[in-house]
Amino acid sequence: MNDNSGRHRQGWGGTFQFLRHFARRPSQMGAIAPSSRHLARMMVDAAGVEPGHIVVELGAGNGSFTRELVARHPENRLTAFEVSPEMAEGLQRSFPGVQVVAAPIEDLPRMAASLGISKIDRIVSGLPWALWTEERQVGVMDAFTPFLAPGARLVTFHYVHSRSLGRVAQTRRLLLERFERVCPSPTVWANMPPAYVNIADGPRRAAGA
């Protein structure tokens, strides 16, 4: 019989850490529970990572998307940004092959050389856009836009109930200023709460263009 107790302990430990961080800093978190495996699969499916792609994850949290990326694309270089030092430390322990950065993505321009990042092919975002002002959203997008490779793609998710929030429409508008196309995925009803993925393709200002 397989012993899954270690996996279960790790999963519950990650959930507890997520909830503890939410209680301390709710403005940094877009949910009160980690994203489900169903949403993680949809995100990584939508990202369309190919061999050789440089992948950057934003707001990696407890590693729901990180785990799926590493499992399915172990040969790709992955850099995960997580603003919480505690959660970043947990990510590095769980995924020693991932370059984990305990900093906001806004720090990318000054850190890029030391991180060895000159271009980004895929961005997988778990950032809580709906909680942020337009100024904050613009600051985040301005940080990564100069590094987007021709053909780059960004995937991010929103909860279905947040469609009526002005800041979600604002996120889409700002993405359309930077990408040719922004398309929603089917709803992931198995996530709690239900969510969908926004897929942004065709950077308007690609690196080296």
User: Is residue 208 included in any domain, yes or no?
Assistant: no
**pLDDT tens across 13-44, in order?**
443 443 343 334 444 434 445 679 999 999 99
User: Is residue 76 included in any domain, yes or no?
Assistant: yes
How many domains does the chain fold into?
1
Helix axes 5-24, 85-94, angle to 10 degrees: 160
Least confident among 79-83, 96-100, 112-116, 192-196: 192-196
Q: Is the pLDDT of residue 161 over 90?
A: no
Q: Provide the CATH number for the domain around residue 84.
A: 3.40.50.150
Structure tokens at 123: 């961005």
The parent domain of residue 156 ranges over 5-203
User: Is residue 74 included in any domain, yes or no?
Assistant: yes
Maximum CA extent, the chain: 55
Locate the DSSP E strands across 70-147.
77-81, 99-101, 120-125
Q: Is the pLDDT of residue 93 over 80?
A: yes
User: Is residue 135 included in any domain, yes or no?
Assistant: yes
**pLDDT tens across 110-153, in order?**
999 999 999 999 999 999 999 999 999 999 999 999 999 999 99
User: Is residue 209 included in any domain, yes or no?
Assistant: no
Split at pLDDT 50, 70, 90, the class of 208 is low
pTM for the model: 0.84
User: Is residue 155 included in any domain, yes or no?
Assistant: yes
- Hey, is 136 helix, strand or coil? helix
User: Is residue 110 included in any domain, yes or no?
Assistant: yes
Instruction: Count Cβ atoms within 10 A of the Cβ of residue 11 and give its class: 0-12 exposed, 13-18 middle, 19 or more buried.
Output: middle
